[in-house]
Structure 1
Amino acid sequence: MADPLSLVSGIAGVVIPALHGMRLLLRDLQDIKDAPKNVQDLKNELSLVDGALSSLQDIEPEDLDSLGPSVGDNIKSTVKVCSTACDKFRADLQRWTRHSQDKKLSWRDRSTIGFWKQDDIKSIQGKLHNCQVNITSVVSTATLSFHHVKITQEIRKTLSLKEDELKAVTQSTVRQRGQVELQLESLSIQDPKPEETAKNLQEEQRYLEESQKLLGELLAKIQEAAKPQATPVVNVTFGSQNSGLQIATNNAPMSGFVFGGRGE
């Protein structure tokens, strides 16, 4: 079995730099005075992801380990994709605001961010939203503590609710993938930058694939835990002579037994 501390350490190695990069981006956005509404919305999404990743760091190693190494790998992939997108967007933002001074947007940069770059902002908002939903799902699933042997009726009810929630999120992710695939298929040569647009859509497609894998792993874990527990099998042996009466505890009357020596 994998070392729970090793799994946590591996995830921390991805989460910590991701949080650092997201906080740098958030700081840059907060430094923009009188920012357009789409920038304000982006700041809100960054704050939500920050909270989700911070909660992920607070999970007990045993609880996180109960989800299995496959989920751990998918967590790292999901966070990496989102982190890379934030780093890229931060570099783009610095280029888009190069005409501004004293943290106040020039009319030219305001037009760029508020109008021309709406699709870019919408794209990273979608990635951040999915990341927040996915990581929140991981946290809430892990805290169900699957390493406990006995699944009570109350826990089973919670598992059922969680299963419905994960199915809804998965369906939403599938719909998003479908929309991205349609956009790729309908990409026109009239697009001002078809290659760049296609690259962005392909990145979004890969991210949604990673999200779907992670949600699928969590759903499988929930469904496995919700299965009725089998009756434990008790093996009974009768010693070297394979004879005699052996019983642990009995609360019912017994009859029909003949006690005597074993015939040769």
Structure 2
Amino acid sequence: MACELSIAASVIAVATLAYSSSKTLYQTISAIYDTPEILVHLKTDVETLYETIHSLQQELEKKDTNAALSDAQKSNLREIMPTLQACHIACDEFNSKIDRLMRRSKDGQTSWRDRLKLQFQEKEIGGFQARLASYKSTLAIALDFATLKTASENLDVTKGLETKIEEATTLLTGQIQGLQIGLQAILDASSESGELVQANPQCQLTEAQQSEVLHAIEQQTVALSHCYRACMAVFKETTKATGHDYKYVKASKEARLLMGDLGNVEGGALHTFRNIEVDGGWVVAGNMAGESAKDFFK
């Protein structure tokens, strides 16, 4: 798609699906007049999600040519396409789940049986909410980055964006690690129960369910990994203006370290250097000309 259309147009096409799915889910929850408490916060999160997607669509429609986007912005947009697709699928699936859970409720009123079923689904709803939080934060960063003309035009705005990236990547890293732990636990349990499955055919259903869970975990890990790379594509660009914080660096023996920029960097990034130890090595903290770097690393 990206070869035939601009990257902006490609993202807009996927965002249209994600917007429709998330708004439909919001409307489904809103139609429950006596909304159970477990869904109240979710409804707010879904509303913020589809509003963010809509704002991103509008911004990209203004820049619907590759020439209007920097290389870093294009890289970020390529990574958020899978995120938008994941939003579309997740919201559609959860909307169908609510329809199944609420099939006894009528005229917006929740039957006591359906309300009880929702309470039993509390952990699953919480997990879905956490997924949406990751998607939402990634898309909000993409929106901010799409509206940023240059990273150096307003350092306060750029630093604020970096703070959002740090918060988002911390959340993403934690979720990915949690999924990996869960995946390993399922694999270990499946290996240990192999003999039981052979001895008891009734365990075959459990095995099939485990396979479905493993697939879901893998798909979610892929989606979160794209979120992480999308954030890092923005971070790589913003640090050109805000600089890096070099700390707890130790150079010893024959070590040669360059901390800073190679050559003259437009915008004049301000790097900070803290707790640098040099014991027999060579360290340059700051900018170094290309020709000098060749001699330095010989």
TM-score interval, normalised by the smaller of the two chains? 0.7 to 0.9
State the Cα deviation string for residues 170-220 of structure 1 (Å, max 9, x = none).
122111111121122223569975344434333322221111111111111
Match of 2:131 among 105, 127, 144: 127
Give, in angstroms, the shift of residue 119 of structure 1.
Answer: 2.6
Aligned residue in 2 for 1:109: 114
Report if the CA contact (8 A) 2:141-2:165 is conserved.
yes
Return the index of the structure with the highest Cα Rg: 1
TM-score (norm 1): 0.74
Give, in angstroms, the shift of residue 48 of structure 1.
Answer: 0.7
Match of 1:139 among 138, 143, 147: 143
Q: CA RMSD in A?
A: 2.9
Aligned residue in 2 for 1:85: 90
Q: Which has the higher relative contact order, 1 or 2, with Cα contacts under 8 A spaced 6 or more apart?
A: 1
Match of 1:118 among 102, 108, 122: 122
- For residues 18 and 128 of structure 2, what CA distance do their matches in structure 1 show? 14
- For residues 225 and 231 of structure 1, what CA distance do their matches in structure 2 show? 9
Q: Which moved more, 1:100-109 or 1:129-138?
A: 100-109
- For residues 26 and 64 of structure 1, what CA distance do their matches in structure 2 show? 33
Cα 1:128–1:64 change in 2 (3 A) is farther
Structure 1: where are the runs of 5+ without partners?
Answer: 233-264
Matched, 1:95 2:105: no
- For residues 118 and 207 of structure 1, what CA distance do their matches in structure 2 show? 23
TM-score (norm 2): 0.66
Letter aligned with residue 24 of structure 1? T
State the Cα deviation string for residues 13-51 of structure 1 (Å, max 9, x = none).
011121111111111111113222121111111111012
Report if the CA contact (8 A) 2:87-2:132 is conserved.
yes
- For residues 231 and 74 of structure 1, what CA distance do their matches in structure 2 show? 26
Cα 1:156–1:27 change in 2 (3 A) is closer
Between the aligned residues of both structures, percent identity stands at: 21
Q: Which has the higher strand share?
A: 2
**Number of equivalent positions:** 224
Aligned residue in 2 for 1:215: 231
- For residues 163 and 235 of structure 2, what CA distance do their matches in structure 1 show? 9
Give, in angstroms, the shift of residue 73 of structure 1.
Answer: 1.2
- Secondary structure of the residue aligned to 1:58 is helix
